[in-house]
């Protein structure tokens, strides 16, 4: 089922349906150019665990408020 434009963006954590409040911007330096950013969305509860997962792999580039 596709997301409708008026539906709030949801956290990227598996099974979480909470609205997103953070953007975790990342890239895999082995696959992506240095300026490319992929984005995971995170609720407040999952921001740290998702950030830790990406940081452990040296993928996390920045965390910003979700716009």
Q: What is the pLDDT of residues 9-62, one digit of tens each?
A: 999 999 999 999 999 999 999 999 999 999 999 999 999 999 999 999 999 999
CA-to-CA distance for 21 and 43, rounded, in angstroms?
5
Phi, psi of 32 (to 5 degrees): -115, 150
pLDDT at 7: 78
pTM (2 decimals)? 0.85
pLDDT at 1: 47
């Amino acid at each position: 089922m596709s997301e409708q434009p008026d539906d709030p963006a949801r956290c990227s954590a598996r099974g979480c349906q909470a609205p997103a409040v953070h953007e975790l911007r990342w890239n895999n330096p082995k696959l992506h150019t240095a300026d490319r950013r992929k984005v995971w969305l995170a609720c407040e509860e999952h921001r740290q665990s998702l950030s830790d997962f990406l940081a452990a792999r040296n993928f996390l580039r920045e965390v910003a408020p979700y716009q």
